[in-house]
């Protein structure tokens, strides 16, 4: 299989997935359980992307300033700080750890 075959196959799979979404009956989508599942999937995807970007360094785990920044940002969110302050505190924590280390 060449690269172009893989790209065409991925495009066909993406198209088939989108087309399958139109085949779902409307009453299934209006079910309250479906709204909860969609919300949970969104949160789970965002959490997994955050963890992967925080702890991954190639194929290995990396515990560095990104983990400290995530912890500080999580604490700021828990304290209900404004989002801009959360971002600034995370950046400052990462900068301080990188400067200190």
Task: Quick: pLDDT tens for 68-90.
Answer: 999 999 999 999 999 999 999 99
pLDDT band at 56 (very low <50, low <70, confident <90, very high): confident
pLDDT for the residue numbered 29: 84
pLDDT for the residue numbered 31: 87
Distance CA(61)–CA(24), nearest Å, equals 40
Distance CA(54)–CA(76), nearest Å, equals 17
Task: From 31, 49, 51, 53, select the one nearest 41 (Cα to Cα).
Answer: 49
Q: Per the domain annotation, does 7 fall within a domain?
A: no
For residue 62, is pLDDT > 90?
Answer: no
Per the structure, the complete domain to which residue 101 belongs is given by: 63-101
Q: Per the domain annotation, does 44 fall within a domain?
A: no
Q: Per the domain annotation, does 9 fall within a domain?
A: no
Q: Per the domain annotation, does 27 fall within a domain?
A: no
Distance CA(76)–CA(33), nearest Å, equals 31
Q: State whether residue 82 is helix, strand or coil.
A: coil
The structure's pTM equals 0.62
Task: Provide, for the chain, the percentages of residues in helix, strand and coil under a 3-state DSSP scheme, each rounded to the nearest 5.
Answer: 80, 5, 15
pLDDT for the residue numbered 48: 92
pLDDT for the residue numbered 9: 96
Report the mean per-residue pLDDT for the chain: 92
Q: Per the domain annotation, does 42 fall within a domain?
A: no
Q: Per the domain annotation, does 81 fall within a domain?
A: yes
CB atoms within 10 A of CB 92: 12
Going through 17-97 in order, the beta strands assigned E by DSSP cover 56-57, 60-61
Q: Per the domain annotation, does 90 fall within a domain?
A: yes
Q: What total number of domains does the chain contain? A: 1
């Amino acid at each position: 299989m060449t690269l172009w075959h893989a790209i065409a196959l991925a495009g066909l799979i993406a198209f088939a997935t989108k087309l399958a979404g139109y085949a779902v009956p409307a009453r299934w989508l209006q079910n309250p359980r479906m709204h909860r599942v969609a919300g949970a999937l969104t949160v789970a995807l965002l959490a997994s992307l955050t963890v992967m970007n925080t702890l991954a360094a190639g194929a290995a785990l990396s515990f560095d300033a990104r983990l400290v920044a995530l912890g500080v940002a999580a604490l700021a969110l828990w304290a209900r700080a404004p989002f801009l302050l959360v971002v600034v505190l995370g950046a400052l924590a990462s900068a301080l750890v990188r400067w200190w280390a």
